[in-house]
Structure 1
Amino acid sequence: MKGYKHEIATRRKIRSSFLFFLALTLLLVIVTIFSYPITAVTMFKSITSTIYALTIISALYSGANAGHSHPQQVRDNGNSILNKGLNPDIFHYLGQYSPRYTVKDDSTSVPHGCHVEVVNTLERHGARYMTNSALTSANATLVKIQNALNKSQNVSSDLVFLKNASLLTGTNDLVPYGALQAYYSGRSTAATYPSLTHVAPFVRGSGDLDDLNDRVILTARYWRLGFEGKPFPSGSFVNSADVRSAAQHIPNTDLNISEKDGQNNTLDVSTCTNFENVPSSKGEKGAQQSFAQTTILPIIGTRLQNRLIQSGAPQNFNLTGTDLINLATICSFETLGRASVQDGKLNISQSPFCNLFNSTEWPIFGYAFDVGKWQGVGYGSQYYKANGQGYLRELLARFTDKAPPLADPTSLNTTLDGSSKTFPLPSKEKGPVVYFDGSHDNNIAPIVAAASLFNGPALTTDYNAQAKPHNWYFSHIAPLQGKVVFEKISCQPHKSEYIRIRANDATLDPKTYCGTSEDNDQHHGKQHKHHGKYYKQLCPLNKFVDQLAFVETDTEWNKCYS
């Protein structure tokens, strides 16, 4: 941390010195020209001296900034590095399997007279291997295709790779690409909020090290490494074992909350009984399969199935909705899972599985992932407020400087949240003022929905439903290592308190979570003139608290058992 703060201070001093000497040099030139008779020789000497001085100053400035030739690549969470070579027409439409990308390059500037006091960043774990069940299903699809093509000698050149393709055998664990994602996220957070790096952040992970259920914990640790300004570990990272091994020498989290059965955990809620008992046909998989029947199979399945038959598959060969969704997800997991990191440098190439579908088909898959999460854990689930309220109660506690209520039941762990050691409130002097919370996509979804983020028209599974307007794009919400950042902002002259929310570099419209009352619009109008254009990005903290009044009651949580 000291090294990072020293680096920031040094660069500021160099920048100030550069501007000072530049101004001084230009002043001397002007004085020289107007104080003496102007001759060709005098003019030549003046220009030569100026160029020489500027060259020296420029060299000093460049030297002081060595290693920082791409500052934007730090502030954009490393997205320009991490996504280089990945086709956005594919990887922006993979929903929860998209790698994090810059949804919108919004400024992080705050209104005139304001400053960020507290930052709460809720982040999904980085890229991982498939889960056990997903890998079993994906392998079944691949074997089905290979058996259909195994005797053919006329397989199309763009499909021939399928005959001998094999999938990565690892499951669940954080891969090198995911570790690098987390590292860049931490670096970006420190670069975006340099005034908050004087005290250590409070870093929470979720999982269990003894069961090697550690992808969120490792994400949190690599995030902290980046935040503290330390280099990414040297050496070769080719699999999850390398990620785990190197983590022995990097900073720890402050707290890990267990994900074992029966544990209250706001970062991985599993204690809402009725939600856990929802049949898969009524949840994410059911919505995906319904959309597959109406749209994916007739539009995409028919085309790919015919191509496989033309390449030698039997005439009665057929692809199911599950097969097609599996093939789309394989594109992501094979690309990100096989990426390697050598001395902090990424080596990645796009999997040939990604070429099975064309640019008009990927948005259809993207919607399948959107509607699945909307129905399963988002606004389409009757339990989204119950599953999201525990975390939001913690968020309000941090932003109002009041310990969270422990009496009314939620997913809150009362033992942890009842202690200032495991749930510290913000402190400018001793910290923390930056909070990192590592979580999962199925937990971030109900949190953002309960906070009224990304709300809009209901998602359906009708034919071509992806063409209808909607706001719930899951690659904008919780892609691999996606992040939703809540900022508490204070503004002079009355120390008014506000909240601003940013998701994957896009600043969210406060009207979605702050209300659209005439009173609220008038309030923004009065303050806009004083604070400038960024003021409309803010929501008065008291209004945000009012909108979330339900999180401090048991009304929603009771639905889990009634």
Structure 2
Amino acid sequence: MLSKALLFIAVYLFSIIHAADKSNWSNVTGTSSTTFPTDVGHLGDMAVGLAPLTTQDDPLNSTEFVKGYGIDMRDKPMDGGASDDVYTNFGPYTPWRPAENLFPETNAYRTMPSQCQLKQVHILHRHGARYPTDGMDDGPGLFGAMVRNATRKGTFNATGALSFLHHWNYSLGEAILFHQGAQELFDSGVKHYYEYGRLLSNASAKPVIRTTSSSRVLDSSRYWTLGFFGWDATEKMNLEVLTEADGQNNTLEPKYACPNGKEFAFGDTMRKQWQKVYLKDALKRWQRDIQGLNLTIEDMFNIIQVCPFETAGLGFSQFCSLFTKEEWEGFEYDGDLKFQGNSGFMNPMAKPMGIGYVQEFLARLTNHSITGQPTSQNMTLDRNETYFPLEQRLYADFTHDNAIVNILTAFNLTQLADQLQASEPSKNRRFRARDIVPFAARIAIEVMECQDKKKTMPYIRFKINDAVVPLDEGQGCEKRPDGLCLQSDFVKHLKNAIQASQFDLACFGKNGTDFVVTSPVSNGQLTPAQRGKSSTP
């Protein structure tokens, strides 16, 4: 009965949302009679899951209290160790925490230099924890459907540590923000208020906060603004919703502006190879205790994902303690392969996909309208100072994980350019999805004026989840212990990066004719060898 009810809810919401998509084109930002509409449709597929009841349902008996978030993150791997061996290895599904180990060399310089004054900040934020996006067709939901169907046939049996599956029902929704995600974003808004609130003192106009129309991103922006501005947030800022839809340019979800953007999914290929390595023992172990299901490596990947999603959605999961420490580390690396190969330096579309936001950042930083050839921007909005104001002291944009990795690559943060292998993880890699794009990830680019000898000079500081990036020659900067970079040097680098991205060729060219791509790259864009002679910048 439960699964039928959930299916009904999913179908019902799906039909409502898609009806709204067809009827709301006259209400999108820039065409609506309302200057800043928020009910623009194009929310994406959604379904509501079962409400939690951890007081009754959570079986973990521990003397350790649940701390911080309301979700239970006390389970340990099946072969011992610490709870962090599970819950910090969720890759892009990791609950937010500061990336303390990302750039340890700059941790001693996190305090702003005494000779500097903060003048502006640019924030790029991922949505908070959400339901899986696959529904019942793939991912954790598919395993739930397999158990349900085998149970109905009377062929399912589970023993040992898996015997709980006889009473287990997959009860998660689809794609929308969890309450855990709402807390992450509200907390982030409060935190950012303490860090940057004074920048808006005596502001002459309400700041424009941008978000995509995806329900989980839109709701994340609402919770963040509630934390930052308070209960009357709508009176203190304008929320601009950028439509996620085919044919709509949107720098916060650039895949709609770049047809080739998803054509080279090297990360998906590598992670499938890696899954055969790190999940092979788990497959044998689970198959031994389950009858009525013939499990595969792909099934095991769906199963291990139940833990992070149930934890955030229901408050706990009995799946978390059913994998070893090494398997959880393998799961973490799985996410690293996905993002570096699909959206990062190993993908030739990464910089072209992210360059539109870089152009917008440069315009905001220099207080000049966007110049040069447009890429993924909605120029109808970006040419309008109502929707793309300059001279704001605080900017905040809300987006998805893949777009953030595209954008970091377009900034040419070579500090994250690890070349990953599908055979085994590098222990010393910088690129870890848990540190770069966990749930509620946030990038902050701080602009400050610093007394330099007898002159005051503008500098840039770049932070990823509170970790200060040690900017260097890869970003056109003189390497310094504190990670600061002269704004003029950073701007010069970005102007060159825009030209080098080759947006039109990469996004609209034909593989095999205009360029040749057969394997991963190392610099996030088409190499000279892959481009035709006429396309060399």
TM-score normalised by length of structure 1: 0.69
Q: 1:501 aligns with which of 427, 440, 462?
A: 462
| 2:209 alignment partner in structure 1 | 203
1:219 is aligned to 2:220: yes
Q: Does 1:541 align with 2:487?
A: yes
Letter in 1 for 2:89: Y
Q: Alpha carbons of 1:515 and 1:154: their partners in 2 closer, same or farther (altered >3 Å)? A: same
Q: What residue in structure 2 maps to residue 480 of structure 1?
A: 439
Unaligned runs of 5+ in 1: 1-78, 208-212, 232-246, 339-348, 427-431, 525-534
* 2:304 aligned partner: 328
Q: How far apart are the structure 2 equivalents of 1:141 and 1:477?
A: 29
Tell me the residue number matched to 1:421. 386
Matched, 1:510 2:456: no
Asked whether the equivalents of residues 262 and 270 of structure 1 are also in contact (C-alpha less than 8 Å), the reply is no
Measure how far apart 1:273 and its partner are.
Answer: 4.1
SS of the residue aligned with 1:128?
A: coil
Distance 1:477 1:222, change over 3 A: same
Pick closer, same or farther for the CA change 1:144–1:171 going to 2, 3 Å: closer
Post-superposition Cα deviations, 1:495-538, rounded to whole Å, max 9, x if no partner, equal 2111111111211111275347xxx25xx5xxxxxxxxxx7221
Say if 1:175 and 1:312 are closer, same or farther in 2 by CA, change over 3 A.
closer
Question: For residue 125 of structure 2, what is the aligned residue in structure 1?
Answer: 123
Alignment correspondent of 1:290:
273
Q: Deviation at 1:325?
A: 1.9
Give the SS at the match of 1:132.
coil
- The 1:135–1:91 alpha-carbon spacing in structure 2 relative to 1, beyond 3 Å, is farther
Cα deviation, residue 193, structure 1:
2.2
Contact 1:301 1:319 in 2 (8 A): no
Contact 2:71 2:180 (C-alpha < 8 Å) held by counterparts: no
Q: Does 1:561 align with 2:522?
A: no
Letter in 1 for 2:284: N
State the secondary structure of the residue aligned to 2:128: coil
Return the match for 1:141 from 136, 140, 143. Answer: 143
1:132 CA displacement: 3.3
- How far apart in 2 are the matches of 1:283 and 1:83? 37
Report the 3-state secondary structure (helix = DSSP H, G, I; strand = E; otherwise coil) of the residue aligned with 2:300: helix
Aligned to 2:425, the other structure's residue is in SS state: helix
CA distance in structure 1 between the partners assigned to 2:147 and 2:416 by the alignment:
39
Alpha carbons of structure 1 residues 445 and 134: separation in structure 2 relative to 1, 3 Å:
farther
Partner of 2:69: 82
Q: Secondary structure at the match of 1:537?
A: coil
Aligned equivalent of 1:443: 403
Letter aligned with residue 503 of structure 1: I
Residue 251 and residue 325 in structure 1: after superposition, are their counterparts in 2 closer, same or farther (change >3 A)? Answer: farther
1:170 aligned partner, one-letter code: G
Counterparts in 2 of 1:194 and 1:538: CA distance versus 1, 3 Å? same
Structure 2 Cα separation of the partners of residues 98 and 135 of structure 1: 23
Pick one of 317, 332, 345 that aligns with 1:351.
317
In the alignment, which of 242, 253, 276 is matched to residue 268 of structure 1? 253
- Aligned: 1:100 with 2:96: yes
Matches within 5 A, 1:376-455: 376-405=342-371, 407-426=372-391, 432-453=392-413, 454-455=415-416
**What secondary structure does 1:123 align onto?**
strand
2:44 is matched with none
Is 2:135–2:173's contact at 8 Å kept on the other side of the alignment?
no
> What SS does the aligned partner of 2:455 have?
coil
1:360 positional shift = 2.1
For residues 318 and 196 of structure 2, the distance between their equivalents in structure 1, rounded to whole angstroms, comes to: 40
Amino acid of the structure 2 residue aligned with 1:254: L
Pairwise CA distance, 1:396: 1.3
For 2:431 and 2:111, locate their aligned partners in 1 and report how far apart those are by CA, in whole Å.
Answer: 26
What amino acid maps onto 1:546 in structure 2? K
Shift in alpha-carbon separation, 1:148–1:172, aligned structure 2, 3 A = closer
The equivalent position to 1:368 in structure 2, one of 334, 343, 351, is 334
Q: Which residue of 1 aligns with 2:17?
A: none
Following superposition, the deviation at residue 397 of structure 1 comes to: 1.4
Amino acid of the residue matched to residue 486 of structure 1?
Answer: I
Question: CA 1:554/1:355 → structure 2, altered by over 3 Å: closer, same or farther?
Answer: same
- Go from structure 1 to structure 2 and tell me whether the alpha carbon gap of 1:258 and 1:327 turns closer, same or farther (over 3 Å shift): same
Deviation string, structure 1 residues 75-111 (Cα, Å, up to 9, x no partner) = xxxx972387423222221121112112218575211
Measure the CA separation in 2 of the matches of 1:554 and 1:196. Answer: 34
SS at match of 1:459: coil
Shift of 1:468: 4.3
Offset at 1:137?
3.7
Cα displacement (A) at 1:554: 7.5
Instruction: Tell me the C-alpha RMSD between the 2 structures.
Output: 2.8
2:533 aligned residue: none
What's the secondary structure of 1:363's corresponding residue?
helix
1:188 CA displacement = 0.4
Q: 2-side partners of 1:555 and 1:310: how far apart? A: 51
- Listed one character per residue, the Cα deviations across residues 120-171 of structure 1 (whole Å, up to 9, x for unaligned) are 1100111111113576442332344567786677711x32222232223421
Residue identity opposite 1:223 in structure 2: W
Q: Equivalent residue of 1:352, what SS?
A: coil
Q: Which moved more, 1:478-487 or 1:136-145?
A: 136-145
Q: Is the 8 A contact 1:97 1:329 kept in 2?
A: no
Cα distance, 1:115 vs structure 2: 1.4
Aligned partner of 2:192 among 185, 189, 194: 189
Q: Percent identity?
A: 28
Q: Once superposed, which parts of structure 1, at least 4 consecutive aligned residues long, lie more than 6 Å away?
A: 146-150, 249-252
- Give, in whole Å, the separation in 2 of the partners of 1:267 and 1:127: 18
Provide the C-alpha distance between the structure 1 equivalents of 2:300 and 2:157, rounded to a whole number of angstroms: 24
* 2:429 is the alignment partner of 1:470: yes
Report if the CA contact (8 A) 1:550-1:556 is conserved: no
In structure 2, how many angstroms separate the alpha carbons of the residues matched to 1:134 and 1:153?
Answer: 21
Distance in 2 separating the partners of 1:445 and 1:178: 20
Q: Do the aligned partners of 1:267 and 1:439 also contact (CA within 8 Å) in 2?
A: yes
Q: State TM-score, norm by structure 2.
A: 0.72
2:278 aligned with 1:278, yes or no? Answer: no
Q: Which runs of 5+ in 2 are unaligned?
A: 1-65, 74-82, 102-106, 510-537
- Asked whether the 8 Å contact 1:122–1:483 carries over to 2, the reply is yes
- Residue 394 of structure 2 aligns with an amino acid whose one-letter code is V
Whose Rg is larger?
1
Q: CA deviation at 1:545?
A: 1.6
Query: Residues 254 and 108 (structure 1 numbering): CA distance in 2 closer, same or farther, change over 3 Å?
Result: farther
Read off the aligned partner of 1:161 and give its amino acid letter: F
Rounded Cα–Cα distance in structure 2 between residues aligned with 1:512 and 1:103: 23
CA spacing shift, 1:455–1:125, aligned 2, 3 Å: same
Following the alignment from structure 2 to structure 1, what is the Cα–Cα distance between the partners of residues 436 and 136?
A: 21
CA–CA separation in structure 2 for the residues paired with 1:501 and 1:88: 27
